[in-house]
Structure 1
Amino acid sequence: MILKSSMLKYTFIIGFSVLSINTFAQVDTTKTPDSNTQQATTIEEVEVIRDYRPILADAVKIRRSPSLSDTRTFQPSLNYNIVDKRLNFPSGMGQLTIQELQSGRPDIMTNNYAKLGIGNFNTILGEVYVNTGTADIYQAGFYAKHLGQKGDLEGQKFSEQNIGVFGKRIMDAFTLKGEVGYNRFGTAFYGYIPETYAEAVTPENQTFSDFYLSGELLKNYDPQDDDVSYSLKADAYLFSDAFNAKENSFAISGYLNKTIQAFNLGANVSADLTTVKATDYSQQNNIVRLNPYIRFQGDNYKLTLGANFVAESNDTSRTNLFPFADFELDVVPQFASIFGGVKGDVTKTSLRTLAQDNPFLNENININNMVDRLHIFAGVKGNLGATFGYKAKFFYRKIEDMPLFVNNTSDPTRFDVIYDQGIDEATSISGFEGEINVRVSQTVNIGGKINLSEYKLSTEEEAWFMPAVRISSDARINISQKVFLTGEVFFNGETSARYLDPLIDYAGEIPYSVRKMPAFVNINAGAEYRITNQFGIFVQANNLLNDTYQEYLYYPRLGFNVIGGLNYSF
């Protein structure tokens, strides 16, 4: 009780003091108080000019009429799961771990697919691809394909099979990749010669078998040791045809590069050991290559200087030393770069590559490697924004032993390989190469290439079956998430064939003539409709113009053909 009285007393004294102070602050100091009278307390007069009117600036006015509707927005019922757990806060900051993102399209991004289709010309298509997926440190897969067709001419048939297994393993310091597979291609010498086709002829079958394997070791990028890079690769194949021709090859190659401030020191080295066996001969074709270089590189430029040492060992051994230099300069960074260079090299000629270009080869093909004595090129490349990329290049080449296909004199349906020597009078090829890629929208992509070449030969009259103009274009359109369209256009310019009248029995020197092979256009189109995320139907139409053009003399191609079927993703 005493405590409460004391508190009330002190509170009264403090309040009275504050009131006295406030009152003292309102004393008119302009008047002198009378000593005989009590000090007067007056309040200054305040003159009000106008009433206070709150005015908002234009910037804060709301220029919308209020909505008078009495519609209540939906208010979801929220449930909270509060963890009744004591949180342990460590004293230090721990290392943040990378969180794996969930795939945005798990229903479409699949690793495996199977395809089955049929079409005219007795076409049967089967294909399967299996992959382990997007694992962090390893990947493995298997693929197999079969395509068979049969045309209207006797022996006009094609059969192709591919099968392979591949894998990749990412280690801490390097990555290992490997592949082993088998390719088979079968056809027949169905060459159509109008002057003699009345005779009953059963074309012989031709089959190419190609068993191959490859492996590669590649150094991974290391921020602590990014100034050294290297790789090592090995390739081998066993190739054969239906007439006892065999080609065995083993090649090993690698490179080493060391970065020292603004320039790189490095070298490429390779050895290709090949043996060719035919009915009438056996030949070694070995090529060893060493290419040391020094490269100066900055933010907007790159200059490489070096040499290319190539040693050949076959019927006759020869050694070549070529200069090697190229540059690249950003004229407008990220939009335009100019490039150019000069180099020389030896290109291996093999039964394998010849058969891929022309499967109607004769027996006992002679093998000579092609030599680029001088190869000069210059051009520009870049992009105009994110939707248009381009590249244009001019080139000039001086060549020795350029391989050419010609019809055999005894059997025009088979092709021999001859070589334009280009020693006394240099064989040269000059031309232009261009490439563009346009993304019209998020769903439309268009690409195109053009090759223009001019040939000047030393021993042959024409560059047999080699066109001066080649133009190709492709497009892909995603109409929706279920419908996809593709298209391809290929133009091959006029070519020349070394012609010999098959009805004349020539004696002594054979008087060859030139037969012009017309230019042709090949147009292909395809469509796919995805029924579900796993199942879809497709159709592929080839040679829409139904032009049985001839890429090689006496060998017309299939006309309009279409393949349709089902595909399954899993």
Structure 2
Amino acid sequence: MKRLFLPLIFIGVGLLSKTDLMAQTEKRGEVQDQEFVIRKDRVLTVPAQPRVFERLPVLPQPSGIQDFRYSVTPYFLKIPALTLQPTAVQKDYRQPKLDLYSGYVRAGYGNFDSPLLEARFMSISPDPVSYSVNFKHQGFRKGPAGTYQDISPESHTLFSGDLGYFLSAAEIYGGLNWAQDKYSFYGEDPNFQIPNEADWNDPIVQSNILNNFQIFGGIRDIEKVGPFSYDAQLRFRTFKDSYLAKENEFGVRGEGKFRTDSDWSGKVGVEYFSTSPSNESYEITRSYFGIRPRISYDYEAFRFTAGINVVSEDDSIPGKESDFRIFPVLKASYQFAEEFGFFAEFSGDVNLNTYFGFVQENPFLGPDTRLLNTVNNYKVDGGIEGQFQETFHYRAGIDLSRYNNLHFFVNSMADSARFDIVYDEKTTVVNVNAELGFKFSETYSLGSRLDLFQYSLSTEAEAWHRPVWEFRVNNQIKPFEKLLIQANLNFMGGLKARGINTVEINPPVQEVVNLKTIADIQLKADFKITDRISVFAEGNNLTNGQNMRWLNYPVRGVQLIGGASFKF
């Protein structure tokens, strides 16, 4: 019975399944609502298992000796203790030694019968004493005075010495200087005519030997970077010519500078000079005293300086109100960039003039009984400057100055071969200047400057013997290590001199003489044969121009000189 019941159950389940399938088949094709959800960003991630939980592999255990035994045998040796002798390590902290030479000798010879001798000896280890001795002589036994060149020689001799003693924080220094310059009054007026039926002999060219001796001494600090630095000096100078002109001068100079931790700094300068000029007709004593305090402020590329110049001098001038003068000093500069900056100045001062200073400017000066200082009432100066990559630099500016007693040189009415000093009461000078420079490594460098002047005078007719324009170019070429070449160009124009009309000589009538433009080309070459021996050659006035800086005084033509030098 049970066997029959089980097949009947299976048959009944099968019939029910077939009935449901047929019902689904009849509903196929009917549209029903459905909802689907699609997640595109779903990512199945499995957390990483940390490596620290990994099981270490089980290494096989080595089988070997499990028990180790060592035997130690003592050896008793009688060894003395080691004796050490430590020494400090010797290190040379000095800079590498350079090839320095204490002595230098230079000798040569040129046309116009011109010998040259120059010598120098100096210390190369300035601790604690430094010294130097210099000597130079150059002569021209023949002058440029045409038929009178044999009686118009010229020579220059110089001897100087310097000595310094270094203390822990200061230096005591001193020195002396002796110079002798010989000139000839060969200036001949080409327009001069010998009077008819006059007993006339050849002119006598007189010479003049100028001797000056200077001695000085002082003390100054060494570091120059501390909160205070100083420099004090005493000096004495004496001058004498072949005639009766003499001048002695005693001077004291001092300067102190202070520096702060901020952007402020300052300095004070003090100087006093007592000068005693004398001649056959006069002997006077002149004094000059000045105090110049300054204070400066620096902030990045901006610099400003303010101060005063206090001067007292005792020149005797008609209508002079006081010997005491005060001038303001204002200076400012700002560098916007390396390529461009500006500078400006407003100041005034009194320039000390001495007979020795005038003779250094014009050696054909005759005796003069009137020596006056030049008062610079005001100076207004401004301009621009800059450089490009330390290769090219420039500077341009304009200077407007007002002077009292500006000096000029004119030919003497009594002797046209000598000069007198004249002063203009009130003079305004405008100077426009420009500088250009270029440097290409050590091979080539150039420096040039142009100056234009304009003079407004009150008592003199012209700015006698002062240029209207100047132009200078200096070139230095070093094509290779042992050769150095210098080429210089110097031009000066617009010079005017005061001449005498030879037609009307009683009384003499003055006239303006326009001097020719001065053009001078110089070439110098130095070739180093060894580190000690060199040869040189120089040429001056290579255009062979009859340059005349002073009326009736033409210079020599082409001047050539050559020689050798030796270091020891």
Q: TM-score range by the shorter chain?
A: 0.7 to 0.9
Amino acid at match of 2:143: G
Residue 144 (structure 1) aligned with residue 135 (structure 2): yes
Q: Could you say which residue in structure 1 is the equivalent of 2:60?
A: 19
Amino acid at match of 2:254: G
Within 1, Cα distance between the matches of 2:343 and 2:60?
91
Aligned-pair CA distance for 1:437: 2.9
TM-score by structure 1 length? 0.79
SS at match of 1:291: strand
1:531 to 529, 542, 549: 529
1:101 to 95, 103, 115: 95
Amino acid at match of 2:362: N
Aligned residues of 1:375 and 1:396 also touching (Cα < 8 A): yes
Aligned length: 476
Aligned residues of 2:406 and 2:423 also touching (Cα < 8 A): yes
2:190 to 188, 194, 197: 194
Instruction: Single out whichever of 498-507 and 274-283 deviates more from structure 2.
Output: 498-507
Residue 127 (structure 1) aligned with residue 121 (structure 2): no
1:419 to 409, 416, 423: 423
Within 2, Cα distance between the matches of 1:17 and 1:520?
107
Q: Give the gaps of 5 or more residues in structure 2.
A: 1-56, 63-82, 195-200
The 5 Å alignment of 1:45-64 reads: none
Q: Could you say which residue in structure 1 is the equivalent of 2:332?
A: 327
Within 2, Cα distance between the matches of 1:171 and 1:338?
41
Aligned-pair CA distance for 1:351: 1.0
SS at match of 1:283: coil
CA RMSD of aligned residues (A): 2.4
Structure exhibiting the larger radius of gyration computed from Cα positions: 2
1:100–1:304 Cα change, 3 Å: same
Within 2, Cα distance between the matches of 1:165 and 1:431?
38
Amino acid at match of 1:444: Y
Within 2, Cα distance between the matches of 1:160 and 1:20?
108
Aligned residues of 1:284 and 1:314 also touching (Cα < 8 A): no
SS at match of 1:282: coil
Aligned-pair CA distance for 1:479: 2.3
Within 2, Cα distance between the matches of 1:179 and 1:344?
32
Aligned residues of 2:185 and 2:364 also touching (Cα < 8 A): yes
Amino acid at match of 1:167: L
Within 2, Cα distance between the matches of 1:169 and 1:291?
29
Aligned residues of 1:283 and 1:314 also touching (Cα < 8 A): no
Within 2, Cα distance between the matches of 1:499 and 1:89?
86
1:405–1:322 Cα change, 3 Å: same
Aligned-pair CA distance for 1:110: 3.0
Aligned residues of 1:195 and 1:503 also touching (Cα < 8 A): no
Q: Could you say which residue in structure 2 is the equivalent of 1:181?
A: 177
SS at match of 2:480: coil
Aligned residues of 2:188 and 2:416 also touching (Cα < 8 A): no
Aligned-pair CA distance for 1:497: 0.6
Within 2, Cα distance between the matches of 1:101 and 1:335?
36
1:385 to 389, 394, 410: 389
Q: Could you say which residue in structure 2 is the equivalent of 1:501?
A: 501
Aligned residues of 1:283 and 1:315 also touching (Cα < 8 A): no
Q: Give the gaps of 5 or more residues in structure 1.
A: 1-15, 22-84
Q: Could you say which residue in structure 2 is the equivalent of 1:487?
A: 487
Within 1, Cα distance between the matches of 2:331 and 2:173?
30
What do residues 488-525 of structure 1 show as CA deviations (whole Å, max 9, x unaligned)?
A: 11001121111112454222xx4321110111210010
Aligned residues of 2:173 and 2:217 also touching (Cα < 8 A): yes
SS at match of 1:237: strand
Within 1, Cα distance between the matches of 2:91 and 2:402?
58
Aligned residues of 1:280 and 1:364 also touching (Cα < 8 A): no
The 5 Å alignment of 1:233-272 reads: 233-260=233-260, 261-272=262-273
Within 1, Cα distance between the matches of 2:315 and 2:380?
28
Aligned residues of 1:181 and 1:213 also touching (Cα < 8 A): yes
TM-score by structure 2 length? 0.79
Q: Could you say which residue in structure 2 is the equivalent of 1:513?
A: 511
Q: Could you say which residue in structure 1 is the equivalent of 2:275?
A: 274
Within 2, Cα distance between the matches of 1:384 and 1:97?
43
What do residues 114-164 of structure 1 show as CA deviations (whole Å, max 9, x unaligned)?
A: 011111101111100111114344321101011111225223321100001
Within 2, Cα distance between the matches of 1:152 and 1:372?
38
1:387–1:17 Cα change, 3 Å: closer
What do residues 381-436 of structure 1 show as CA deviations (whole Å, max 9, x unaligned)?
A: 332122223332211100000010011111111100010011xxxx1001123333
SS at match of 2:316: coil
What do residues 182-215 of structure 1 show as CA deviations (whole Å, max 9, x unaligned)?
A: 0110011001222348751111111111101223
Within 1, Cα distance between the matches of 2:112 and 2:193?
21
SS at match of 1:401: strand
1:162 to 155, 158, 168: 158
SS at match of 2:505: coil
Aligned residues of 1:467 and 1:492 also touching (Cα < 8 A): yes
SS at match of 1:458: coil
Q: Could you say which residue in structure 2 is the equivalent of 1:397?
A: 401
Aligned residues of 1:522 and 1:543 also touching (Cα < 8 A): yes
Within 2, Cα distance between the matches of 1:222 and 1:389?
28
Within 2, Cα distance between the matches of 1:304 and 1:17?
88
Amino acid at match of 2:132: G
What do residues 306-357 of structure 1 show as CA deviations (whole Å, max 9, x unaligned)?
A: 211110023356111111111122211x444321111111111111111111
Residue 446 (structure 1) aligned with residue 438 (structure 2): no
